[in-house]
Chain A
Amino acid sequence: GQQVMQSPQYQHVQEGEDFTTYCNSSTTLSNIQWYKQRPGGHPVFLIQLVKSGEVKKQKRLTFQFGEAKKNSSLHITATQTTDVGTYFCAGLNDYKLSFGAGTTVTVRA
């Protein structure tokens, strides 16, 4: 079955620094979605990427979908304490949304 893998599992970032988290699928995806889950909370939708090579920006967050539609990345610039949480990518094929295990981000002030 489809597997979605994320790396790194943990990201410890100094406030103000940049970092990137990566997502890879074992199969080609119809689209990829990114969610953020704060500690003790539930996943909240961030963005959806549909087209091969697509790049979307949300303020300090840049999302990219690979040319083969099997990988994606999330780059955060000038990390802030509000960026703390776990970032999940989720690949959509047919009706099924398959989540990766997430990258948990902590920020050092």
Chain B
Amino acid sequence: ETGVTQSPTHLIKTRGQQVTLRCSSQSGHNTVSWYQQALGQGPQFIFQYYREEENGRGNFPPRFSGLQFPNYSSELNVNALELDDSALYLCASRPDSYNEQFFGPGTRLTVL
């Protein structure tokens, strides 16, 4: 077990709706990253937060946004959902000075 949890496990939304996914990291893991994994693909980097500030972003539009909280929890928000947003969303955290990513079990999002 990585000590990283995510909720919900599965979610079904319709196109145009908004969604919030949640992640709870281990204490002391100041960096959290979010990834999108489409079926049959590798995880794609969405963004990274360090101590509640976004400090890196991948090639995702602004309708993908996030928050990180002092209690090591974080959120991924996606507005105006599109069909192509259907994927497994993974959060991964790590402590300072470590590159190893500790992944959560993911949230499977289906957009209809």
Which residues of chain A have a CB within 8 Å of any CB of chain B? Answer: 1, 4, 6, 31, 33, 35, 41-45, 48, 88, 90, 92, 94-102
Closest to A44 in B: B103
Look across to chain A and name the residue whose beta carbon is closest to the beta carbon of B31: A95
B72 contacts the other chain (CB 8 A): no
Binding site for A on B (CB under 8 A): 2, 33, 35, 40-45, 48, 55-56, 58-59, 90, 92, 99-106
- Secondary structure class of chain B's binding surface, majority of residues: loop
> Is there an interface contact between B103 and A102, defined as CB atoms closer than 8 Å?
no
Whether B42 and A45, one on each chain, are in contact in the complex, defined by CB atoms closer than 8 angstroms, is no
* Most B-side CB within 10 Å, residue of A31, A42, A43, A101: A42
Residues B42 and A42 in contact, CB atoms below 8 Å apart: no
- What 7 pairs across the A-B complex have the smallest Cβ distances? A99-B42, A95-B56, A42-B103, A45-B100, A99-B43, A43-B103, A101-B42
Whether B33 and A42, one on each chain, are in contact in the complex, defined by CB atoms closer than 8 angstroms, is no
Beta-carbon contact of B56 and A43 below 8 Å: no
User: Would you list 11 pairs from A and B whose C-beta atoms are within 8 A, ordered by A residue?
Assistant: A1-B59, A42-B103, A43-B92, A92-B99, A94-B56, A95-B55, A95-B56, A97-B33, A98-B45, A99-B42, A100-B42
Give chain B residues whose Cβ lies under 8 Å from the Cβ of A98: 45
